[in-house]
């Protein structure tokens, strides 16, 4: 469980938090929970999402449970820097869809004293590292791995099984294209 205890909070120090896990594990829900707390504390914040992710809304980040928060849509990570106007908190959803320069952008923001909160899939449907997520986890001060529940056996799930025949790595979808599985059930697929 992530306790959000930051001993240097309130100073000029920035840091990076990564929330990762499989589909349906609550990554976006946790991201929204954290930014709502920052909003309640009157901390200026910005939330970004990649242009490719238009599953539930064109303008908002929306969790599978229906929680939502207004977002700035960007195609390239450098656009995050051009939209940033000294907000104390910058949040990024679906970071796995960004190119590797997202790592440099997050480091630059944290070095400027920003709390950077990132959510994304750590593995793709084949069970391999997804996009820049391994690099983001390695530079983060805090990493939270959340788990779904395996729809086959009820154990903790951390794999996202694709249920359609497309084989490209990036295939935006939800319950109609993916289901969460534990290691054992994923290996038996």
Give the model confidence (pLDDT) of 163-187 as tens digits.
777 667 656 555 567 899 999 999 9
* Residue 189 pLDDT greater than 50, yes or no: yes
Residue 59 lies in a domain: yes
Q: What digits encode the pLDDT tens for the residues 71-94?
A: 999 999 999 999 999 999 999 999
pLDDT score recorded for residue 77: 97
pLDDT score recorded for residue 161: 86
- Give me the mean pLDDT over the 54-61 stretch: 63
Residue 107 lies in a domain: yes
Residue 101 lies in a domain: yes
Residue 20 lies in a domain: yes
Which CATH number does the domain housing residue 129 bear? Answer: 3.40.50.300
pLDDT score recorded for residue 52: 80
Concatenated DSSP letters for 93-104? Answer: S-GGGS-THHHH
Residue 189 lies in a domain: no
Nearest to residue 3, comparing CAs of 37, 26, 41, 39? 37
What is the domain count for the chain? Answer: 1
- Give me the mean pLDDT over the 59-80 stretch: 79
pLDDT score recorded for residue 31: 95
Q: Do residues 68 and 25 touch, judged by C-beta distance below 8 A?
A: no
Q: b/e per residue, 84-106, with b = 16+ CB within 10 A?
A: beebbbbbbbbbbbbeeebbebb
Please tell me which residue in 94, 99, 108, 176 is annotated as part of the active site.
Answer: 94
Q: What digits encode the pLDDT tens for the residues 9-31?
A: 555 689 999 999 999 999 999 99
**pTM for the complete prediction?**
0.86
Above pLDDT 70, what percent of the chain?
79
* Residue 67 pLDDT greater than 50, yes or no: yes
Residue 174 lies in a domain: no
**Mean pLDDT, the chain, whole residue set:** 87
Residue 178 lies in a domain: no
Residue 155 lies in a domain: no
Which residues form the domain of 109?
15-146
Q: Are strands 89-92 and 45-50 parallel, antiparallel or unpaired?
A: parallel
Known catalytic membership, residue 58: no
């Amino acid at each position: 469980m992530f306790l959000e205890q930051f001993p240097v909070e309130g100073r000029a120090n920035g840091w990076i938090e990564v929330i990762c896990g499989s589909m349906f594990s609550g990554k976006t829900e946790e991201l929204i929970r954290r930014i709502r707390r920052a909003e309640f504390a009157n901390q200026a914040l910005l939330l970004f999402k990649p242009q490719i992710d238009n599953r539930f809304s064109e303008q908002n980040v929306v969790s599978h449970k229906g929680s939502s928060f207004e977002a700035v849509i960007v195609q390239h990570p450098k656009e995050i820097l051009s939209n940033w106007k000294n907000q104390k908190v910058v949040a990024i959803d679906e970071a796995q869809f960004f190119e590797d320069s997202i790592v440099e952008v997050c480091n630059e923001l944290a070095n400027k004293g920003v709390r950077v909160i990132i959510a994304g899939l750590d593995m793709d449907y084949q069970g391999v590292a997804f996009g820049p997520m391994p690099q983001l986890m390695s530079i983060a001060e805090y990493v939270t791995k959340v788990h779904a529940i395996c729809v086959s056996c009820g154990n903790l799930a951390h794999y996202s099984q694709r249920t359609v025949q497309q084989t490209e790595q990036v295939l935006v979808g939800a319950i109609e294209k993916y289901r969460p599985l534990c290691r054992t059930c994923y290996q038996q697929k």
